Structure 1
Amino acid sequence: MHDIQLNTATSIMVRMIDAIDHVSGKTGLTLTVAVSKNGGGFVATSPVVTERGLGWYNIDLAASDCDTLGELVVMAQALGADPGINCLYVVEYLSASISEVAICNMALARCGVTLFIESVGEASQQANVCNLFYVPVRDRVLQAWPWPFARRYARLQELGSPPSCWRYRYHYPSDCLKVRRLVPDGERGRGAGAPVPFEIGEAEASAARAILTDLELAEAEYTARITDVALFPASFTSALAWALAAEIAIPLTTDMNRAQLAQRMYAQALLEAGADALNEERTGDGPESDFIRARR
Structure 2
Amino acid sequence: MHDIQLNTATSIMVRLTDAIDHVTGKTGLTLTVAVSKNGGGFVAISPVVTERGLGWYNIDLAASVCDTLGELVVMAQALGADPGINCLYVVEYLSASISEVSICNMALARCGVTLFIESVGEASQQASVCNLFYVPVRDRVLQAWPWPFARRYALLQELGSPPSCWRYRYHYPSDCLKVRRLVPDGERGQGAGAPVPFEIGEAEASAARAILTDLEMAEAEYTARIADVALFPESFTSALAWALAAEIAIPLTTDMNRAQLAQRMYAQAMLEAGADALNEERSGDGPESDFIRARR
TM-score range normalised by the length of the shorter chain: over 0.9
- The residue that corresponds to 2:73 in the other structure is 73
**After superposition, where does 1:75-154 map in structure 2 within 5 Å?**
75-154=75-154
Aligned partner of 1:190 in structure 2 is 190
Shift of the alpha carbon at 1:294?
A: 34
1:39 Cα deviation after fit: 2.6
Q: Give the distance between the partners of 1:8 and 1:98, measured in 2 at CA.
A: 20
Distance 1:137 1:162 in 2: 33
Find the aligned partners of 1:139 and 1:192 in 2 and give their Cα distance: 25
- How far off its partner does 1:278 sit? 0.5
Computed over aligned residues only, the root mean square deviation of the Cα atoms, in angstroms, reads 5.3
Q: 1:194 to 1:289 in 2, by over 3 A?
A: closer
Q: Deviations over 1:42-71 (max 9, x none)?
A: 111111111111111111111111111111
Q: 1:170 to 1:180 in 2, by over 3 A?
A: same
> Which consecutive residues of structure 2, in runs of 5 or more, have no partner in the other structure?
none
Deviating beyond 4 angstroms after TM superposition, the runs of 4 or more aligned structure 1 residues are: 282-296
Deviations for 1:2-46, whole angstroms, at most 9, x for unmatched residues? Answer: 111111111111110111112221111110001112332211111
How many Å apart are 1:293 and its aligned residue? 29
* Greater displacement, 77-86 / 286-295: 286-295
Quote the Cα distance in structure 2 between the aligned partners of 1:290 and 1:277: 10
State percent identity of aligned pairs.
95
C-alpha deviation, 1:284, in angstroms: 6.7
CA separation of 1:178 and 1:22: change in aligned 2, threshold 3 A = same
Structure 1 pair 77/123, CA: closer, same or farther in 2 (3 Å)? same
Q: Is the contact between residue 158 and residue 169 of structure 1 (CA under 8 Å) also seen in structure 2?
A: yes
Per-residue displacement from partner, 1:214-234 (whole Å, max 9, x unpaired)?
A: 000100000000000010000
* Residue ranges of structure 1 left out of the alignment (5+ in a row): none
Change (3 A) 1:57 1:97: same
Q: Deviations over 1:160-195 (max 9, x none)?
A: 211110000000000000000000001111100100
